[in-house]
Amino acid sequence: MILQENINLIKICFLLFALFWISDASAFYFNDTGLFDIPTAYIMSNGNFNFGAKIEVQNEKRKSLVIGTDFGLLNFAEIGFKGIKKDNKDYLMSDIKVILSREEGLLPAFAIGVDNVGEGKGVPDYELSYFAVISKRLNLPVIHILNTHIGIGNKRYMSDESIGKYLHGIFIGLGKEFILTHNDLRLQFLSELKSNNLNFGIKCLMKSGLMLNLALEGTNNGFKETRYHIAVGFTNTELMKEIAQSVELAKQAVRIANEERSEKNSPVGKE
């Protein structure tokens, strides 16, 4: 039943990709463990993956189209591949992120990585770039858990315009998650500051693994040049969680059965 439901969702995703292409829209990427346009120090677990299409619209014109996939590797790295169509040209690139320390107690998570390995030289937003980032979940009064991220990078993380002149490659992000238990829906509200861009967005993750992400990007001195972003995709993260829980329950059942069998076979049990 779950498998058939996921197959239907995959078909829906591919249909949406085709509609985006026909409608002359464009794309930008929301990473499963990232925010909107900046990375975080978190990575996907080994065996987890996501894929999706990313749409960017400015002045009702196509800016670019990106279709990509990311996956976790051995619980210490995350690797992504993306195909980009921009200005009637096609590019193929990859991203790599490695976690150096995990969040524990008061210590934040710390990761380093590289974006746009491949054919993006000279293309705005797709230049080969290096970054380092730390992430920490804070438990604050009233708003409770808030995900915070701060990092530094070069190339695509830098700008000589507006506030970018003062940031010198520093980027900042915030994320607040809400879980709607009635509909099994996770909502995460995002905000981030990168170079001369101030972005706001929302990520929606259904229990089935279907993702829908929306964002508003303000560039060039505020929101004088506004871009709208839509991304759809699929991730197996929720499915892997269910499998892990089922395996754990099975182990507990076997352990309890073995304990009961041992008690019956013991001398005390026989008496």
| pLDDT, position 195 | 84
The answer on 240 and 227 residing in a single domain is no
For residues 217 and 229, is the Cβ–Cβ distance under 8 A? yes
| pLDDT, position 32 | 66
| pLDDT, position 62 | 66
The answer on 213 and 183 residing in a single domain is yes
Lowest-pLDDT range of 40-49, 84-93, 138-147: 84-93
Closest by Cα among 223, 165, 175 to 195: 165
Q: What are the distances in angstroms from CA 109 to CA 28, 71, 148, 174?
A: 26, 19, 11, 15
Asked whether the predicted pLDDT for residue 29 surpasses 90, the reply is: no
The answer on 48 and 26 residing in a single domain is yes
- By CB atoms closer than 10 A (0-12, 13-18, 19+), residue 112 is middle
Asked whether the predicted pLDDT for residue 6 surpasses 70, the reply is: no
Asked whether the predicted pLDDT for residue 107 surpasses 90, the reply is: yes
Q: What are the two backbone dihedrals, phi and then psi, of residue 25, each rounded to the nearest 5 degrees?
A: -80, 180
Residue indicated by tokens 């210590």: 107
Please give the angle made by the CA atoms of 104, 110 and 114, to the nearest 5 degrees.
Answer: 155
Q: How many domains does the chain have?
A: 2
For residues 234 and 207, is the Cβ–Cβ distance under 8 A? no
% of residues, the chain, pLDDT over 70: 81
How confident is residue 27, by pLDDT bands cut at 50, 70 and 90?
A: very low
| pLDDT, position 152 | 96
Q: Which two tokens stand for residue 248?
A: 């754990």
The answer on 263 and 153 residing in a single domain is no
The answer on 144 and 89 residing in a single domain is yes
pLDDT digits (tens, 9 = 90+) for 163-174: 888 889 999 999
Q: Which domain-ending residue is among 233, 248, 263? A: 233
Mean pLDDT of 157-161: 85
Q: What are the two backbone dihedrals, phi and then psi, of residue 106, each rounded to the nearest 5 degrees?
A: -85, -10
Q: Which of 28-32, 77-81, 140-144 has the highest mean pLDDT?
A: 77-81
The answer on 6 and 121 residing in a single domain is yes
Q: How far is C-alpha 98 from the chain's CA centre? A: 15
Q: Assign residue 26 the CATH number of its domain.
A: 2.40.160.40
Query: For residue 271, what are the domain limits?
Result: 236-271
Q: What is the pTM of this model?
A: 0.78
- Output the 3-class SS for the chain: CHHHHHHHHHHHHHHHHHHHHHCCCCECCCCCCCCCCCCCCCCCCECCEEEEEEEEEECCEEEEEEEEEEEEECCCEEEEEEEEEECCEEEEEEEEEEEEECCECCECEEEEEEEEEECCCCCCCCCCEEEEEEEEEEEECCCEEEEEEEEEECHHHCCCCCCHHHHCCEEEEEEEEEEECCCCEEEEEEEEEECCEEEEEEEEEECCCEEEEEEEEEECCCCCEEEEEEEEEEECHHHHHHHHHHHHHHHHHHHHHHHHHHHHHCHHHHC
Mean pLDDT over each residue of the chain, to the nearest integer: 80
| pLDDT, position 267 | 63
How confident is residue 101, by pLDDT bands cut at 50, 70 and 90?
A: very high
The answer on 197 and 126 residing in a single domain is yes
pLDDT digits (tens, 9 = 90+) for 121-154: 777 678 899 999 999 999 888 888 899 999 999 9
Strand-pair partners of 70: 50, 80
The answer on 216 and 93 residing in a single domain is yes
pLDDT digits (tens, 9 = 90+) for 190-226: 999 988 888 898 988 888 888 888 888 876 555 567 8
The answer on 141 and 92 residing in a single domain is yes
Q: What are the two backbone dihedrals, phi and then psi, of residue 122, each rounded to the nearest 5 degrees?
A: 85, -5
| pLDDT, position 164 | 81
The answer on 244 and 179 residing in a single domain is no
The answer on 222 and 114 residing in a single domain is yes
The answer on 71 and 22 residing in a single domain is yes
Give the residue with greater pLDDT, 181 vs 262: 262
How confident is residue 86, by pLDDT bands cut at 50, 70 and 90?
A: confident
Asked whether the predicted pLDDT for residue 41 surpasses 70, the reply is: yes
Residue indicated by tokens 């229990």: 207
